[in-house]
Structure 1
């Protein structure tokens, strides 16, 4: 997995516009790369069929059929929707090297992706995503 950041985001807003659109907690995660506390998010244990969208811009990011139980405290997915829905970049914050996951459409922080952890998934990747960064649109 080689981190790559895409071109300029398609959805561009000023920081003031983001603050007006998002709640304080949403802004802290999506725009300031914060993290919600483990096992507190709305979608950690959700099994509803549907599409997970970016809470900031509405872009489709993940499908429920790629969600799996990793027991890590955050929703986990083994692959994003059509590889171009997210972009990755190196993150050396918190004293470690990780790969940050951003919405390709608005470059909001979603979480991190890890690989080689031994989960029984088709990709051996775990997209560990903050619930507050997502909005689930259920499908019938």
Structure 2
């Protein structure tokens, strides 16, 4: 029986009162409220289709297909959209999930968290706190000491090797490589 037919049966037999629930709405800030913003035209030109889909449309890449899933080089993982430093390679671990996973942030304020109720479940969405780019999700099944697992799409990340990690990408430094090719430039 379809959801409509079931709802019709319920509402025919008894009135249904709609009331607000106590759960957070899952609404998040619009792109206009982030400290750094880019036009959609610029992002479509600068990012690959997968990078755009993940960061701007809250998409996800298929498990085990991302550039940084098995990446082991030392350095810094940054936001592919704005270049903000997000994760250190020293906090990266193999979670077996098929996406790059980190147990801690470079700085507490580098990632914004919001509730995500898509697909009929509750998850905690992670976004870049500077530009609002969708990164992935946060789970509480990571290793000690934090117990956190930041499950991040490779397409939302760029990588700066250890030697280049001192120079911020947003201030003219180049990011060593980005997921899905080297299309994005800051």
TM-score, structure 1 as length reference: 0.90
**Paired residues, number:** 135
Over residues 24-44 of structure 1, what are the superposed CA-to-partner deviations in whole Å (9 max), with x where a residue is unaligned?
Answer: 111000000000000011111
In terms of fraction of residues, the more helix-rich structure is 2
Q: Which has the larger radius of gyration?
A: 2
Which residue of the other structure, out of 104, 118, 126, is the alignment partner of 2:149? 126
Higher RCO (Cα < 8 Å, 6 or more apart): 1
How much is the aligned-residue C-alpha RMSD, in angstroms? 1.7
- Distance between the aligned counterparts of 1:122 and 1:21, measured in 2? 37
Q: Quote the offset at 1:18 in angstroms.
A: 1.7
Which residue of the other structure, out of 69, 79, 82, is the alignment partner of 1:57? 82
Q: Quote the offset at 1:14 in angstroms.
A: 2.2
TM-score, structure 2 as length reference: 0.69
Corresponding residue of 1:139: 162
Which residue of the other structure, out of 35, 40, 60, is the alignment partner of 1:15? 40
Q: Quote the offset at 1:17 in angstroms.
A: 2.1
Over residues 18-75 of structure 1, what are the superposed CA-to-partner deviations in whole Å (9 max), with x where a residue is unaligned?
Answer: 2122111110000000000000111111111100010111110000011111110000
In terms of fraction of residues, the more strand-rich structure is 1
The structure 1 segments of at least 4 consecutive aligned residues displaced by more than 2 Å after TM superposition are 5-8
- Distance between the aligned counterparts of 1:17 and 1:77, measured in 2? 29
Which residue of the other structure, out of 112, 118, 135, is the alignment partner of 1:87? 112
Q: Quote the offset at 1:120 in angstroms.
A: 2.9
